[in-house]
């Protein structure tokens, strides 16, 4: 020890300072604090891993419960449909004596076996005994009713003098009662109808329906219980995760390095992603990556559901074009724009006759064909819309030079394509009215296009007319049902009129 150091150690000042330093040294040590923080951090990470895995398990359990419910429901519906199909076929046979209904009946009973097949699929599922009893009771009652139905088929076959040798063995070996054998053909036919339409038969059908309904009710109750339990458990897991993340944030404040690398940076990124509605970035510790993966799965599922709901809300389910609601929304959006906007209104000519003559299925196919031609003929930036019924619209958001001739050519091409039948769809034509605005989508634009459309209909349909501002009064008179007095002709495409 040096001389200077020895003097300091022996001096009164140094002797008085030593107890104070010794007292301060007995406080919390950084190593101890870091050790405690490290232990708490590791414990929290363990809890996060556990809750993340638990959440994934809960998600799988919920999905499995839903799959099981769907399988059970399909089984119950199959039993019900199979029983109803047998009833419909045997009733049709005894009423019409048409052999094809009997053949279909025996195919369902001995070949298709949709009821038995549905129950066999439940063999690997965890179905409670009571539920099994209900569904098997329904099958047993349906099979018991089958004997009565085959007896009715035998009576009806004899009444129609059908060759019994062509029927299944069960029909050929069936013996009629003495009273039924004595009946005339008309009496046997009436007896056959009575067997499948009387009160006893209806009561047997009701018992089958009740057994299947009890099964479906039990299945629904179990599915609801599973979903509620899964939701409750998932909520607890998510609450725990939030608690652990808060704790990690507090620990990040104490330990700067660990917080920046493992906690603060991931949490800031997660928070920004959630606020911006984006999936969580895969950053930070492994636990956060697992959390982000689970969240992103749920986020992607919700995003798909939202996209599906938005698509259904804005699109027509038959034609897949935009619907009237989307049209109204576009009107509001374009109302304040400063660039020209064009509106094309069109109707399918004599569409009511298509429905009345060919049926609504052909009418739907005709609307789909018109929608397809609109979608493929106009540009991807144009908005093709089904307003309702056989009314369509196209919104153009610009007015390029020569646009009128382009529109007229496109309408003529559509009419040319529609003039040829396609499958069951007969030849069609469309009437079109077009109007342009100087800026945006004013309230008068729809009426102007409608006026032009009215002129085409007055001129014999199948054509395209443009609203002219110089003839606005005449156009509006036509729209209000008043005749025109200026003697002017329609502005329809000449080629369309000649066709």
Is residue 333 domain-shared with residue 465, that is, in the same domain?
yes
Task: Summarize the confidence of residues 157-177 as an average pLDDT.
Answer: 87
Is residue 215 domain-shared with residue 328, that is, in the same domain?
no
Of 165, 196, 223, which residue sits at a domain end?
Answer: 223
Q: Is 3 within a domain?
A: no
The CA distance from 362 to 425, in Å, is: 6
- List, in order, residues 6 or more apart from 219 with CB less than 8 Å away: 69, 72, 73, 76, 131
DSSP β-ladder status, 391-396 and 430-437: unpaired
The 10 Å CB-count burial string (b at 16+, else e) for 120-141 is: eebeeeebeeebeebbebbbeb
Q: If pLDDT is split at 50, 70 and 90, which confidence band does 86 have? A: confident
Residue 459 buriedness (CB in 10 A; 0-12 / 13-18 / 19+): middle
> What is the pLDDT, as a whole number, of residue 36?
66
Is residue 219 domain-shared with residue 332, that is, in the same domain?
no
CB 198 within 8 A of CB 204: no
- Most confidently modeled range among 189-203, 277-291, 309-323: 189-203
CB 346 within 8 A of CB 392: yes
Average pLDDT of the residues of the chain: 78
Neighbours of 182 (CB within 10 A): 10
> What is the pLDDT, as a whole number, of residue 288?
66
CATH number of the domain within which 330 lies: 3.30.70.270
Of 167, 193, 223, which residue sits at a domain end?
Answer: 223
The pLDDT tens digits of the residues spanning 113-159 come to: 877 776 666 655 555 544 556 777 777 788 878 888 899 888 888 88
Is residue 61 domain-shared with residue 189, that is, in the same domain?
yes
CB 428 within 8 A of CB 354: yes
Bridge partners, 460 (sequence order): none
- How many domains does the chain fold into? 2
Q: Quick one: which of 274, 294, 142 has its CA closest to 212?
A: 142
The pLDDT tens digits of the residues spanning 377-423 come to: 999 889 999 999 999 999 998 877 788 999 999 999 999 999 999 99
Task: Summarize the confidence of residues 32-43 as an average pLDDT.
Answer: 71
Is residue 76 domain-shared with residue 219, that is, in the same domain?
yes
The pLDDT tens digits of the residues spanning 11-21 come to: 444 434 444 43
Is residue 212 domain-shared with residue 329, that is, in the same domain?
no
Using CA atoms, how far residue 102 sits from 98, 183, 303, in Å, is 7, 22, 51
Q: Is 41 within a domain?
A: no
- What residue numbers bound the domain in which 88 lies? 49-223
Q: Quick one: which of 339, 182, 305, 251 has its CA closest to 44?
A: 251
The CA distance from 325 to 197, in Å, is: 49
Is residue 210 domain-shared with residue 345, that is, in the same domain?
no
First to last CA, the chain: 120
Q: Is 468 within a domain?
A: yes
The pLDDT tens digits of the residues spanning 452-479 come to: 999 999 988 999 999 985 444 444 444 4
Q: Is 278 within a domain?
A: no
Q: Is 58 within a domain?
A: yes
CATH number of the domain within which 82 lies: 1.20.120
Q: Is 173 within a domain?
A: yes
Q: Is 469 within a domain?
A: yes
| Percent of the residues in the chain that have a pLDDT greater than 70, as a whole number | 78
CB 493 within 8 A of CB 410: no
DSSP state of 255: S
Is residue 71 domain-shared with residue 201, that is, in the same domain?
yes
CB 79 within 8 A of CB 138: yes
Who has greater pLDDT, 71 or 375?
375
The CA distance from 273 to 293, in Å, is: 13
- Three-state DSSP class for residue 180: helix
Neighbours of 211 (CB within 10 A): 24
The pLDDT tens digits of the residues spanning 244-294 come to: 778 777 776 666 655 576 677 888 888 888 888 888 887 767 776 777 778
Q: Quick one: which of 258, 208, 190 has its CA closest to 39?
A: 258
- List, in order, residues 6 or more apart from 238 with CB less than 8 Å away: 55
Q: Is 7 within a domain?
A: no
The CA distance from 248 to 262, in Å, is: 9
Of 223, 250, 281, which residue sits at a domain end?
Answer: 223
Structure tokens at 183: 């009946």
Global confidence as pTM:
0.40
């Amino acid at each position: 020890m040096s001389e200077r150091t020895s003097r300091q150690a022996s001096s009164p000042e140094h002797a008085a300072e030593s107890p104070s330093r010794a007292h301060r040294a007995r406080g919390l040590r950084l190593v101890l604090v870091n050790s405690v923080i490290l232990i708490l951090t590791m414990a929290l990470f363990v809890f996060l891993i556990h809750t993340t895995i638990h959440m994934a398990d809960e998600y799988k359990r919920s999905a499995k419960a839903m799959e099981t419910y769907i399988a059970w429901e399909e089984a119950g519906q199959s039993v019900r449909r199979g029983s109803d199909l047998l009833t419909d076929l045997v009733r049709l046979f005894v009423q019409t004596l048409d052999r094809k209904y009997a053949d279909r009946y025996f195919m369902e009973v001995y070949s298709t076996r949709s009821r038995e097949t549905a129950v066999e699929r439940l063999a690997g599922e965890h179905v409670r005994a009571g539920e099994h009893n209900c569904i098997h009771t329904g099958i047993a009652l349906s099979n018991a009713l089958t004997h009565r139905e085959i007896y009715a088929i035998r009576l009806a076959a004899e009444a129609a003098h059908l060759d019994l040798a062509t029927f299944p063995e069960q029909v050929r070996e069936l013996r009629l009662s003495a009273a039924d054998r004595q009946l005339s053909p008309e009496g046997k036919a009436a007896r056959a109808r009575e067997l499948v339409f009387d009160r006893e038969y209806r009561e047997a059908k009701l018992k089958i329906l009740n057994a299947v309904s009890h099964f479906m009710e039990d299945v629904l109750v179990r599915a609801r219980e599973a979903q509620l339990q899964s939701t409750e458990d998932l909520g607890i897991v998510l609450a725990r995760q939030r608690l652990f993340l808060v704790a990690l944030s507090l620990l990040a404040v104490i330990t700067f390095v660990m917080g920046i690398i493992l906690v603060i940076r991931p949490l800031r990124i997660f928070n920004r992603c959630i606020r911006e509605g984006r999936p969580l970035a895969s950053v930070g510790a492994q636990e956060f990556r697992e959390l982000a993966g689970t969240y992103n799965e749920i986020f992607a599922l919700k995003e798909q559901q939202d996209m599906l709901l938005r698509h259904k809300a804005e699109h027509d389910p038959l034609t897949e074009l935009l619907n009237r609601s989307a049209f109204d929304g576009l009107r509001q959006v374009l109302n304040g724009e400063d660039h020209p906007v064009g509106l094309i209104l069109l109707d399918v000519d004599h569409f009511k006759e298509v429905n009345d003559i060919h049926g609504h299925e052909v009418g739907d196919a005709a609307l789909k064909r018109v929608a397809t031609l609109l979608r493929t003929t106009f540009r991807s930036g144009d908005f093709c819309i089904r307003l309702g019924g056989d009314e369509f619209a196209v919104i153009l958001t610009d007015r390029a030079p020569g646009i009128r001739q382009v529109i007229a050519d496109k309408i003529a091409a559509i009419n040319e394509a529609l003039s040829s039948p396609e499958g069951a769809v007969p030849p069609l034509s469309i009437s079109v009215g077009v109007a342009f605005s100087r800026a945006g989508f004013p309230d008068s634009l729809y009426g102007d296009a409608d006026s032009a459309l009215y002129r085409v209909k007055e001129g014999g349909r199948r054509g395209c007319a443009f609203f002219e501002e110089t003839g606005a009064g005449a156009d509006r008179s036509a729209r209000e049902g008043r005749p025109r007095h200026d003697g002017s002709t329609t502005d329809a495409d000449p080629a369309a009129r000649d066709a």
